[in-house]
Amino acid sequence: MKQLKYVLIFLIINFGALGLGVLLMQNGPQTDWYLQLNKAPWTPPGWVFGAAWSTIMLCFSFYMMYLFIAQPNTKVTLLFTVQFVLNVAWNFVFFNQHLVLIGLLVILALTAIVTIFLYDYRNVLQLKTLFILPYFLWLCIACSLNLYVLLYN
């Protein structure tokens, strides 16, 4: 019962972050600014982003549920909160404000936070650490896409 409660809380928060990010980017991927950018040849089609982020937030919700049950401490809460802010902020910075360099810094900071989760709690969660791996891998791809836009525009 405790697991169900926590996974529901994290699902609401994580999918809420996705929704907030979409609102803050204000149709960014369909704007002339974005459509005219030189994008990396490995940039996936638009539908992949929605599918990837939905999968990532589902997995991350389970990861956070397991972690929060195992270690409900201030560090975990702080890391999660910073992750939330950075995740939402990137959409606004990159798509809404067109601040590509600051967007790269935000996404690198987000990747660092997810790396801390991945590394610091691997012994606590053991095999359940795999739940955060999609987030980490996607952020590596996203960093490369953001860097390409910075370098070639």
CB atoms within 10 A of CB 9: 14
Residues 30/98, Cβ–Cβ less than 8 Å: no
pLDDT at 1: 82
pLDDT at 118: 97
Identify the CATH class of 2-151: mainly alpha
pLDDT at 128: 98
Q: What is the pTM of this model?
A: 0.95
CA–CA separation, 8 vs 144, rounded Å?
Answer: 32
Segments in the chain below pLDDT 70: none
Q: Domain residues of the chain, as ranges? A: 2-151
pLDDT at 109: 98
